[in-house]
Chain A
Amino acid sequence: KAGVTQTPRYLIKTRGQQVTLSCSPISGHRSVSWYQQTPGQGLQFLFEYFSETQRNKGNFPGRFSGRQFSNSRSEMNVSTLELGDSALYLCASSLEDAGGVSDGYTFGSGTRLTVV
């Protein structure tokens, strides 16, 4: 079966611009989570969507937003980019029902964002 697909793989943006990243989960997976990975901060939770509803949100400023569509595909948007937003952004999907956590994430390959 197809894995989690993230596009684009690489992105270079200028400070002040905005960016939209896309994630297509594994077919049938209703939960999509986003993480930011940096060498200094490790893996930081951004938000999670389940059946088009944001179920939980991490401690990121309002410049970071996301959404999930009816086909479970998800997008995240970062507005007014800052140099510190340079990171690997990982999307992960899981099969879990609401409240169930027994299956692990399947991660995409990530989007490497560089802000210059």
Chain B
Amino acid sequence: DQQVKQNSPSLSVQEGRISILNCDYTNSMFDYFLWYKKYPAEGPTFLISISSIKDKNEDGRFTVFLNKSAKHLSLHIVPSQPGDSAVYFCAAFMDSNYQLIWGAGTKLIIKP
């Protein structure tokens, strides 16, 4: 049972445009949602998170939106830069069981 789903294996976006990465979840008990970025042969790097009691969090070029009724969140990157090309993972966390539950990732390719 996949609790966190990223349905797009890959996404290609023109440099300077907006990148929108999507994530769906099934468990309404999650307390936090996090986005990580991963380059090949490296560990995931934390980008941004959002508490389940919020609907938006912004940090520089990155904004995460949470729609609890739809059990959906998205990561917006504006403007997209070549260095943003990586695999992006959505992860969810419950304070009661400490585990990060991960999606399968979306590979973002920024075209020059």
A and B: real partners?
no
Binding site for A on B (CB under 8 A): none
